Structure 1
Amino acid sequence: MRTLLSSLFLFLTLQGLASACHPAPEKKAPTFVKGADISWLPQMEAGGYIFYDDQGKPQDCFQILKDHGINTIRLRTFVNPSNDPHSGHCSKDETIAMAKRAQQWGMRVMIDFHYSDSWADPGKQVKPKAWQGHGFPQLLQDVYDYTHDVMAGLKAQGITPEWVQVGNEIPGGMIYPEGSTKTWDSLAQLINKGYDAIKAVSPNSKVILHVDQGNNIPRFRTWFDNAKAHGAKYDVIGLSYYPYWLDGNPDYTLSIDDLAKNMNDISARYGKEVMVVEVGGEDDKVQNTYDMLVAVIKKVKAVPDHKGLGVIYWEPEGAQSWSRYKLSAWGSDGRPTKAMDAFLAE
């Protein structure tokens, strides 16, 4: 027995020495997401908009984005959209076609379910017309069936989104009134139906829950504390960060540190990865937008334990001359502005 114990002790000692000499490899950071939501692109192209590269040569928008370091495409999807050039489109078929195109360009894909026929955001979460009048049990089934249908359509085309959002900017909830944060139990059930449908088709896709004002620490703690208390299921916390829309001074230097503190706090508090899934700056203040993007990318990369996944610009190609949107990263000459170079700088 003594010989056996001595041998065992020697074995364990040698194992310990081997481990000390060959420590476990450090967890490798995943490829950092440098993304763009370009859901307006099909409408722009259909209307004859021509994109130009930095040299002024007509070029496919995907090529221009890739040349500026973009490796991920985010696409919104509406339930039964209109044909309005600015507030419509983004149907299931159009979203699948865009996702397939992104994949052909070697891009990673994120799908953003709005659960509405048009824009869903902090100011409005309008229930799809086809779901109106449905009782809550049917509404839960509506969410599951629609989500499953879109995911199955993507899968049929060989597309596996790496990330899928259940709802878009939902600080007050989604699919009002049933999914309001005034009734968190119902909201959590709706979220979980979306989650379950995504995982049923694509188990490896990570589900994102998305809240705006990424620098607002109390906003995120309150929201995700409630999500945890009511059993909402998700994998990643998505944040929007638009200094332009913040109350008071839109100078990003006044809020960027709070964005960093918030990401560090929520990643540790909830044990989740985080991603800035929407960001944007003024198209006529190019240097400021460039500087802001560089700062945001640095802050996301600095989230401990590689939990900061990346940064996605919202509609950088949506030039104001076409969209009337002030926060693109495209000039009136049809070329990307210097702001897009931020994705190459970091």
Structure 2
Amino acid sequence: MRKLFFNGILIVLFSTVAWAQEFAKGADVSWVPQMEATGYQFYDTDGTKKDVLQLLKDRGMNTVRLRVFVNPSDDPRSGHCSKEETVAFAVRAQKMGFRMMINFHYSDSWADPSKQNKPEAWKNLSFDQLAQAFYDHTFDVMTTLKKAGVTSEWVQIGNEIPGGMLWPDGSTDNWKQLGILLNKGYDAVKAVDKQIKVIVHVDEGDNIQKFRTFFDNATAQKVQYDVIGLSYYPFWVKKDYTETIANLESNLKDLITRYQKEVMVVEVGGEYDKVENTKALLEATIKAVRALPDNKGLGVLYWEPQGEKSWSGYSLSAWLPNGQPSPALDAFKN
């Protein structure tokens, strides 16, 4: 506020203050349509049936992340997530007030550090043809979402890609080609909406050397992106979060300084049957990301919290056997 006097009259000027962007708290919930289709029921803590998205919203979540496969099977756990299904679910989630992240796997099923399989329809393409198919698929999905009225805030170009994607063509053994693919994805997203933030995603968020190796190479190839996405699963490195959270904090700070980018934990999870430990893990992760300087830490997303083990076989969900949310998810309320 500034005070000025003009002809003896006090004039008070209020400076305009830009509100800090809202912290993203949410989850990848891509299994939901298949869970519902197979008859799975979701309940609140009082035993009443409720829309699973509402249950997550009631626990402080404001963001959903949805994956996209290219030509998936109809397997309820490792298929679906086609363009059409993803768009329909995105419309539903946005109507409930959720912010949106789209996660491209560039495969017909799961893509992760152990497998980055080409879609069947792209297997025999030359690299130039592959790069064009990559661009066309990204542009098509994003255009369809936009036509459906969905505003995507973030888009991931690839899912957990420390070794690259679309192997062998886009492997980190050939960084030049991987750089071309990542930039094709970036260009396709920005051609639809320049405001969307493009994420590049690597696993083991507490492993600083893994991130430096990947993103130093990305920098050398002039890869364009807006946000560095991290997975953080102490379970998969056989450690408790208390042994790894300091390394996550250090890596987050290093990424912001070294690459001048925003960061976001786009996947986190703890053991479903260790409720208090998982809640503490989530509280510590959210605290670490929130504490980053200049609002460079954008948010924290759980991976498939509603994917209750009896349905999914996944032990890092955050749902109880009775169909109710785990109390661990209360960590997102703050």
Task: Tell me which interval the TM-score lies in, with the shorter structure as reference length.
Answer: over 0.9
Q: Which residue of 2 aligns with 1:315?
A: 304
Matched, 1:254 2:243: yes
Match of 1:98 among 89, 92, 96: 89
Q: Which residue of 2 aligns with 1:334?
A: 323
Match of 2:279 among 283, 290, 307: 290
- Superposed CA RMSD in Å reads 1.4
The one-letter code of the counterpart of 2:268 is V
Distance (Å, rounded) in 2 between the aligned partners of 1:54 and 1:97: 28
Q: How does 1:198-237 map to 2 (within 5 A)?
A: 198-237=189-228
Q: How does 1:74-85 map to 2 (within 5 A)?
A: 74-85=65-76
Q: Which runs of 4+ in 1 moved over 6 A?
A: 21-26
Distance (Å, rounded) in 2 between the aligned partners of 1:311 and 1:40: 19
Q: Which residue of 2 aligns with 1:189?
A: 180
Identity across the alignment (%): 61
Q: Which residue of 1 aligns with 2:8?
A: none
The one-letter code of the counterpart of 1:256 is I
Quote how far apart the aligned CAs of 1:23 are. Answer: 10
Structure 2 unaligned blocks of 5 or more = 6-11
Contact 1:160 1:202 in 2 (8 A): no
Q: Which residue of 1 aligns with 2:268?
A: 279
Q: Which residue of 1 aligns with 2:9?
A: none
Higher helix fraction: Structure 1 or Structure 2? 1
Matched, 1:41 2:32: yes
Normalising by structure 2, we get a TM-score of 0.95
Quote how far apart the aligned CAs of 1:56 are. Answer: 1.1
Question: What does the per-residue CA deviation read over 1:259-279, in whole Å, with 9 as the maximum and x for residues that have no partner?
Answer: 000001101111100000000
Contact 1:79 1:116 in 2 (8 A): yes
Describe the shift of the 1:263–1:24 C-alpha distance in structure 2 as closer, same or farther (beyond 3 A): farther
Higher strand fraction: Structure 1 or Structure 2? 2
Q: Secondary structure at the match of 1:255?
A: helix
Contact 1:34 1:69 in 2 (8 A): yes
Quote how far apart the aligned CAs of 1:26 are. Answer: 6.5
Normalising by structure 1, we get a TM-score of 0.92
Describe the shift of the 1:67–1:264 C-alpha distance in structure 2 as closer, same or farther (beyond 3 A): same
Q: Secondary structure at the match of 1:274?
A: strand
Q: Which residue of 1 aligns with 2:295?
A: 306
The one-letter code of the counterpart of 1:267 is I
Q: Secondary structure at the match of 2:93?
A: helix
Distance (Å, rounded) in 1 between the aligned partners of 2:14 and 2:219: 35
Distance (Å, rounded) in 2 between the aligned partners of 1:296 and 1:71: 17
Question: How many residue pairs end up in the alignment?
Answer: 324
Question: What does the per-residue CA deviation read over 1:19-70, in whole Å, with 9 as the maximum and x for residues that have no partner?
Answer: xx98976764210000110000010000000000121110010110110011
Question: What does the per-residue CA deviation read over 1:86-115, in whole Å, with 9 as the maximum and x for residues that have no partner?
Answer: 100000000001110110000000000000
Distance (Å, rounded) in 2 between the aligned partners of 1:163 and 1:42: 21
